[in-house]
Amino acid sequence: MSRATSRAAEDADLLRAELWISRVLRWGVLLSGSVIAVGLAARLLGIGTVHQRSDALIAAITAGREIAGPAVPTGAGELLAGLRACDPDVVIALGLLLLILLPVARVGMTVLLFLAERDWTYLVITLFVFSMLISSLLLGKAL
């Protein structure tokens, strides 16, 4: 019986911590959504410098054609350079990247949670998921 009670308490702790993480994530979604909106507004109002004009780009993709090269800068250096040049696409890209990294952060925080709980089985499980998320970023570059 006492084992069952401690399991229930453990579950409740886990849920409480995940609730906190979820709330942080919700703010993250709001933040990334705002960054994306700012970048999009700048793009449409013609603020900043862009590599390719919006009308030409839209004309190409709505004709079903793929554009040459990657759609967004992916390296940290390129992103920083784009930001310094006030490229609205880079602002949007940063917002999108933040959004993509939110679940990665969730899993990262859960890894720490299981480490603190000394739950080795789930530490290994969450570490595996975390490493999959990181390797997907590396894999995309190599594809």
Cα–Cα distance, 134 to 53 (Å, whole number): 33
State the DSSP code for 52: S
Whole-number minimum distance, CB 28 to other proteins, in Å? 7
Looking at the Cβ atoms of 68 and 84, the one nearer to other proteins is: 68
Whole-angstrom distance, CA of residue 123 vs CA of residue 38: 38
Please state the closest distance from residue 142 (CB atom) to other proteins, in A.
Answer: 8
Which residues 6+ apart lie within 8 Å of 110 measured at CB? 18, 21, 126
| Closer residue to other proteins (CB): 70 or 86 | 70
- Nearest distance, CB of residue 4 and other proteins, angstroms: 9
Q: Which is nearer to other proteins, 65 or 84 (CB)?
A: 65
